[in-house]
Amino acid sequence: MGAVSAQIVLRLAAVTRGPETPRALLARVGLTPDLDPARALEQTVEAEAYYDLLERAAGPDDHGLPFRYAASVTPDDYGAMGLAVKTASTVEGSLRRLARYVLVLTDSLAYELRPEAGGASMVLRGRPHHRRGACLANEAGLAAITSLMRQIAASPVQPTSASFRHPRPASSAPHEAFFGCPVRFGAPDDALAFDAAGLAATTRLGDAGLSDYLLAHLEAMRARRVDQGLEARVRREVMDSLCDGPPSRARIARRLGVSERTLARRLADEGLTFREVADRARREVAESLLARPEHALAEVAFLTGFADQSAFQRAFKRWSGRTPQAFRQGL
């Protein structure tokens, strides 16, 4: 299911207003509040444990947690990636760097700067919205981007719209107050839209020489993560595409920017096949959804890319040796 930098987890725990203290929350994932920042950038927390921490930190009624987190972060919190983001010459350049190098912080998501009429959208891909913690994580990710762009731009920059795939929460006032633009829920993408003027805005600290050094360093870091994490990247893309139906090797290869043959060869080099990885991803999503009783079996079948509930039941029994209902009852 991927992992998240401990630095992000530390920041989120620090702004909790829930019943558990930051120290107690962090102890659940094996961290302490006094962890050295350099080590925090290297350590990771599994994605599902991160979502669980977010749910505990926010409780049932705190809808402002992602925005307190976003207000607390600075580019320097993200090490070399943060420095590369703030030394780009324009906001568009900063967003492109963020989209390319976010992998050095987390493999639980990816960003894509998608051109559109009159501007572009920063689209969050790869992270599901199957539970509240994942929804909060998506909100925190887009809010943090908004906060970073506001800090690095030489003139005020606002997104023109923000959208989320998950349903509207009980209160969306914190979302609208933070983003300062229309906010949609139940949308096709988790995304921030920027107009051409916002993208062209210059940054305060644009530095071509320092950028060259940082980008060379980040390219090496990214290459190591790509080499180490092909299976995780394929799983992430499969999870993100499940609502469109059964995962297709051709579609996933396109999303990863490689040919089908290259994807198959690289997986084979790791002793894997696409079907094995796709089935593992679907099983992980299914088990996570089955652990939450508010999701009916028919809904779980749809969210894991099956045409009907009976096909899902047959596949799940093949994966686990149990029916979905038996698995849920055994939790």
Domains contained in the chain, CATH given? 61-210 (no CATH), 229-330 (1.10.10.60)
Average pLDDT over residues 244-248: 84
- pLDDT at res. 268: 87
180-206 residue pLDDT tens: 999 999 999 999 999 999 999 999 988
- pLDDT at res. 202: 95
Average pLDDT over residues 16-22: 90
Cα separation, 109 vs 129, whole angstroms: 12
- pLDDT at res. 331: 66
Q: Tell me, what amino acid is at 137?
A: A
- pLDDT at res. 24: 94
- pLDDT at res. 141: 94
In the predicted structure, residue 226 carries a pLDDT above the cut 90: no
Q: Are strands 161-163 and 183-184 parallel, antiparallel or unpaired?
A: parallel
With a CB cutoff of 8 Å and minimum separation 6, the contacts of 10 are 26, 31, 33, 35, 40
Least confident of 5-14, 60-69, 106-115: 106-115
Q: Do residues 73 and 144 touch, judged by C-beta distance below 8 A? A: yes
In the predicted structure, residue 49 carries a pLDDT above the cut 80: yes
57, 117, 133, 178 from 60: Cα distances, Å:
9, 39, 11, 20
Angle between helices 79-86 and 208-228 (to 10 degrees): 140
pTM exceeds cut of 0.75: no
Q: Residue 102's pLDDT band (boundaries 50, 70, 90)? A: confident
In the predicted structure, residue 126 carries a pLDDT above the cut 90: no
Percent of the chain scoring above 70 in pLDDT: 97
21-47 residue pLDDT tens: 999 999 999 999 988 877 888 788 888
- pLDDT at res. 18: 81
Cα separation, 214 vs 312, whole angstroms: 47
In the predicted structure, residue 269 carries a pLDDT above the cut 70: yes
- pLDDT at res. 39: 83
57-85 residue pLDDT tens: 998 889 999 999 999 999 998 888 888 89
- pLDDT at res. 217: 76
In the predicted structure, residue 129 carries a pLDDT above the cut 80: no
Q: Residue 229's pLDDT band (boundaries 50, 70, 90)? A: low
Least confident of 151-160, 208-217, 261-270, 297-306: 208-217
